[in-house]
Structure 1
């Protein structure tokens, strides 16, 4: 799979100012509204216990239609593992819950870790991994942020625009923005909008993503932190969190990124052994 916008492919030789300017151009071209090649209801499933806080719950709870005009969507999970200054970018593609392809790329890193510029550190390896992918995904789920980003151009947004591919960012930590409600000790299935602040390049109070409690312990003595889900490209914030809820497989991470994480570690082990 080749980039649709090669002019937006992350260039590690750019200065920090140039990288930030490119991110703003990416965000200007990004679509934070639904333009998907499939009906999200075709990946629907129940998502957990009923919420008691009054927050909105997933609308993707209907049964799969008996007949559909299109095949189930191909959903790709993308995650990375690292060995010193080497990145292993792994892609796992699923269709109707079954793995149909796994591929990866091993790439030397050219940029150190800088908060807000993750796509320039990891994007090169991801582009190389996509070049080895035979299938064409209908949706990509990235381990990282999308619109929840200072310049609205996290990893999922940047890569989504580069490939003009519907994309979702799924992060374990909140980079910026403010949850509308406290995220502490929430029940499984709970969610709340993440709203922009003055640190984000959009009007304050804009919904740029959601905190989503994908799993939770039964005991009140400890709790699992929520995921931070945001639209990358060609998907709205609301549909992004609905889809992540629908992709849940009994773990904190949704199946596409959980399987990509596992595959990246598998490849890392083989590289270390070699």
Structure 2
């Protein structure tokens, strides 16, 4: 697939200030609203729903990464610049896996909070080039608009490829929830608003805390996911999509399977001596 905006692709040789400037340019280009026509969350995992609308079920891709720590076997995923990233992509249609691909790419810079896409973006783009199908939607393990400069990895990759994308993060990078997030019932969504740490007017809706799963026992609870639009998807649709794809699990199925495949592929690479 051709990259519509190669000028906005992550460049690890930039200075920190230049990276942040590029992120602001990406946020200006990003569309934090639904395409017309919008995605129909109920068609993503239900082929009968897709049939009733007269179209083929959309293809949804989950993207996650593992790391090959050449210089450190401690298991610290921050690693160093001699290490490699293994980017895994799992494409699904109507709830079934139709393609799995991965790519292994050297990491050029260490982890820097807020600049994840400059560390992991190139490896992800390499993996996406391996796909033979063209997904209608991408779900990334990371933030979208819930980001200091409104340009997390889901936004960066979505804009560079000009594809609908959603960020699914396990922790809240920035912003403030409108309500308490402790022990929420499954299916609950709580808006996340911009604060003065975000390059957006305070109170701007960045995304949602989405409670995809919860224990029945009150003695323990599952934390929510932090879901935000990456590109060409609105915040409400992003939350609905993640709920629609997360039946029985905390993570939406494409991301969960990408995480599992990243671990499997890492074993293949290590055993193969690559």
TM-score normalised by L of structure 2: 0.91
Question: 1:70 offset after TM fit, Å?
Answer: 2.1
Three-state SS of the structure 1 residue aligned to 2:49 is coil
Distance 1:231 1:251 in 2: 21
Three-state SS of the structure 2 residue aligned to 1:176 is coil
Distance 1:23 1:30 in 2: 10
Structure 2 counterpart of 1:176:
174
Distance 1:112 1:66 in 2: 46
> Which of 227, 230, 249 is matched with 1:229 structurally?
227
* Correspondence 1:5 to 2:2: no
Q: 1:252 to 1:150 in 2, by over 3 A?
A: same
Question: 1:3 offset after TM fit, Å?
Answer: 1.4
Structure 2 counterpart of 1:208:
206
Question: 1:86 offset after TM fit, Å?
Answer: 0.9
TM-score normalised by L of structure 1: 0.91
Three-state SS of the structure 2 residue aligned to 1:20 is helix
Question: 1:249 offset after TM fit, Å?
Answer: 2.9
Structure 1 counterpart of 2:63:
78
Structure 2 counterpart of 1:126:
124
Paired residues of 2:65 and 2:87 also in contact (CA < 8 A): yes
Question: 1:72 offset after TM fit, Å?
Answer: 0.8
Q: Where do 1:89-238 residues align within 5 Å? A: 89-238=87-236
Distance 1:161 1:202 in 2: 18
Question: 1:69 offset after TM fit, Å?
Answer: 3.2
Distance 1:223 1:89 in 2: 30
Three-state SS of the structure 1 residue aligned to 2:209 is strand
Q: 1:64 to 1:158 in 2, by over 3 A?
A: same
Write out per-residue CA displacement over residues 63-100 of structure 1, whole angstroms, 9 at most, x where no aligned residue.
82653332111100000011221100000001111111
Structure 2 counterpart of 1:49:
none
Q: Where do 1:221-260 residues align within 5 Å? A: 221-260=219-258
Paired residues of 1:43 and 1:246 also in contact (CA < 8 A): no
Paired residues of 2:67 and 2:85 also in contact (CA < 8 A): yes
Distance 1:138 1:272 in 2: 32
CA RMSD in angstroms comes to 1.6
Q: 1:139 to 1:99 in 2, by over 3 A?
A: same
Count of residues paired in the alignment: 258
Q: 1:66 to 1:104 in 2, by over 3 A?
A: closer
Distance 2:29 2:50 in 1: 34
Question: 1:190 offset after TM fit, Å?
Answer: 1.1
Write out per-residue CA displacement over residues 206-259 of structure 1, whole angstroms, 9 at most, x where no aligned residue.
110000111111111111110000000000100100010111131110001001
Three-state SS of the structure 2 residue aligned to 1:28 is helix
